[in-house]
Amino acid sequence: MRYLFIISNEINSKELRKLEDTIASLNEDMRNHIELRYIQNASQSTDYAVEASEQSDDNVTIVVCGGDNVIHEVVNGLAYRSTPLAIIPLGSVNHFAQTITPDYLLQHPEKGVLMLQDLNVVPIDLVRIDSYDVLGNHLPVWSRYFINIASFGFETTALYYAKEFLDKNKKADRQMANIQGALRGFQKMKSYKMDYSLELIDSETNEICEDEEFLSLSICNGKYNNGCCIAPNAKIDDGVLDICVTENRGRLHNGKLFFMAGLDGKHVQDESVRMFKATSGIITCKDNSFQLSGNCDGELIYGHRIRFEVFPEALNLAYFPKQEKR
């Protein structure tokens, strides 16, 4: 088995040194099976993943060393391919990794290098989002697969301000940017007008909501986003999506929900939060702008109408062992 390491340029220099030192500590035979690719931007990782997959198929494992943005790009290269994806959580935020990664690896990511031969490959779900403009034209640039969470409303507003903060403060880390984005989001808090129609898991029942306003709507394959446990009961291999719809009850109430979501998803117990189990759905903008602003895996997307659907077993994920070697 070959291992192609796709290494993000956003990794903290100290963590990068630990990763490289651990790789150097391997025996020569194992090192000869490892190839390192350092990327300058996340989009490069898609091409590297596709190239490696086409050359070696299931005889290579793509090892992403970075955060959600790089994972997102690699996922869009590996969808429906047999090539497995492994994740060493070295991003400034590791939302998807929190769902799948053992605690020892979250605390010491470089230890994943020592566990490569113990990876367990399991097929998991991916979600497809297709975006359309007000005339019904498909928008390929904002139509993607995602592995973790897509959201519309408050979370996207906070993400937009976080990216704006990073653009103005090049040396700031992403965690600080996320805090600044959340604070600006609370200052600008508003309701978002959108209709939604969900195909619930019994395949015979639809949940339709029209002419209402919401704080946010999240489509969840994974559990965590923006430092919160949005969907505590979500599973990435059950062919089902957890949909979280939150009403806007004012800053004080919404702030309480944000705090509760950080406590293992206790916000789902609040009456202002609706949770659904669905396999597909459509969201339509009802604001005067005629355009929804959303994000999937932290990447901004836009469209008047968004269709989404879960695709079971669309990606081979390589899990690290739950216990580290002693």
Q: What confidence category does residue 189 fall into, taking pLDDT thresholds of 50, 70 and 90?
A: confident
Interval 242-261 mean pLDDT: 88
Report the range out of 39-48, 86-95, 188-197, 308-317 with the highest average pLDDT: 308-317
Higher per-residue pLDDT: 189 or 21? 21
Mean pLDDT of the chain: 91
Using the predicted structure, report yes or no on whether residue 58 has a pLDDT greater than 70: yes
Which neighbouring-strand residues pair with 313?
A: none
Please check whether residue 265 is in contact with residue 232, taking contact to mean a CB–CB distance below 8 angstroms.
yes
d(CA 238, CA 218): 18
pLDDT tens per residue across span 103-147: 999 999 999 999 999 999 999 999 999 999 999 999 999 999 999
Least confident segment among 9-23, 51-65, 257-271: 257-271
Q: What confidence category does residue 155 fall into, taking pLDDT thresholds of 50, 70 and 90?
A: confident
Model pLDDT, residue 141: 95
Using the predicted structure, report yes or no on whether residue 100 has a pLDDT greater than 90: yes
d(CA 94, CA 73): 15
Q: What confidence category does residue 182 fall into, taking pLDDT thresholds of 50, 70 and 90?
A: confident
DSSP calls for 29-42: HHHTTEEEEE-SST
Model pLDDT, residue 259: 83
Q: What confidence category does residue 171 fall into, taking pLDDT thresholds of 50, 70 and 90?
A: low
Residue 100 Cα distances to 65, 106, 235, 236, 322, angstroms: 15, 10, 10, 9, 10
Using the predicted structure, report yes or no on whether residue 270 has a pLDDT greater than 70: yes
Higher per-residue pLDDT: 224 or 203? 224
Higher per-residue pLDDT: 251 or 218? 218
Radius of gyration of the chain (CA): 20
Model pLDDT, residue 285: 94
Task: Domains for the chain: give ranges and CATH numbers.
Answer: 2-118 (3.40.50.10330), 127-312 (2.60.200.40)
Using the predicted structure, report yes or no on whether residue 31 has a pLDDT greater than 80: yes
d(CA 281, CA 243): 10
Higher per-residue pLDDT: 165 or 278? 278
Report the range out of 12-16, 90-94, 133-137, 190-194 with the highest average pLDDT: 133-137
Using the predicted structure, report yes or no on whether residue 52 has a pLDDT greater than 90: yes
Q: What confidence category does residue 212 fall into, taking pLDDT thresholds of 50, 70 and 90?
A: confident
d(CA 91, CA 65): 8
